[in-house]
Amino acid sequence: MTCKRKTCQKEKLGSTSGIREDARWNQYPSPNDKGFGNGKFCYFVSCPDSKLPIRDYVYEEKLEPCYERKSYNEYRECNQRGIRNAYKRGISYFIFYTRYQGKIESHRNRYFITGLFPISAWRKVSNRIAYYSEEPVLLSVEHAKELDDKLWNRWFGENLPKDKKGSHNLRYMAKFVEKDSLALKDILNHFEKKRNLNKIDEYVKELKK
């Protein structure tokens, strides 16, 4: 089950330029604070050699999302346009989604929301902002929330985005969802119900093998 591709191998945490281990994490506002509670979809590439929908280094060679440190945007720049102004936009949740490329063939090439990252703290790293979550919820693909046309229409009144060839293409989607939106309510409800199935420890073990 381990991700064995050469470029999928574990990278050394803390070796990236711009990281200051003594830089203090600053408390982030609660989702209940005025103006906060919104969400932002954040795409990642999944590993082809794992059953779990974990990150894949083969294309991006990234440590993001960094499950080991429960952080995002700490080691590599990710979704800069969408998360640079997370505080100003009142974003309280990063919603991790991917086009699954893993070993479970029946789920392959379908889009899933696999992780919920409630923001707990932030700090400046080089020229970007890193975020930390005390309680991220990361699911197996079997328990993740699939994104399909029916659900997308229910949430946004349209089908899933497609490229010029007519294929679904959500990698560069910059979807912001407001606190009171049906989409965010459904997502929060799904992950709350699946909280006892959190696979974060399995994610970390997978990358350490």
Distance CA(18)–CA(23), nearest Å, equals: 11
pLDDT at 4: 56
Q: Read off the tokens for 113.
A: 């929301």
Classify residue 182: in a domain, yes or no: yes
CA 141 to chain centre: 13
pLDDT at 101: 94
pLDDT at 17: 40
pLDDT at 31: 97
Classify residue 15: in a domain, yes or no: no
Classify residue 19: in a domain, yes or no: no
pLDDT at 144: 98
Distance CA(132)–CA(115), nearest Å, equals: 14
Among 176, 93, 78, residue whose Cα is nearest residue 136: 93
Among 27, 6, 24, 171, residue whose Cα is nearest residue 96: 171
Give the count of domains, the chain.
1
Q: Cis omega before residue 65 (within 30°)?
A: yes
Q: Report the relative pairing of strands 38-43 and 91-99 from DSSP bridges.
A: parallel
C-alpha distances out from residue 78 to 41, 42, 123, 205, Å: 12, 8, 15, 23
Domain span including residue 50:
6-10+24-208
**Main-chain dihedrals φ then ψ at residue 112, nearest 5 degrees:** -140, 145
**Main-chain dihedrals φ then ψ at residue 8, nearest 5 degrees:** -95, 0
Distance CA(199)–CA(154), nearest Å, equals: 28
pTM metric for this prediction? 0.89
Classify residue 61: in a domain, yes or no: yes
Classify residue 18: in a domain, yes or no: no
Under a CB-based contact definition with an 8 Å cutoff, are residues 47 and 101 in contact? Answer: yes
Classify residue 53: in a domain, yes or no: yes
Classify residue 28: in a domain, yes or no: yes
Across the chain, which has 209 residues, the per-10-residue mean pLDDT values are 51 48 84 97 92 79 87 81 87 96 95 98 90 97 96 94 76 89 98 98 88
CA 37 to chain centre: 17
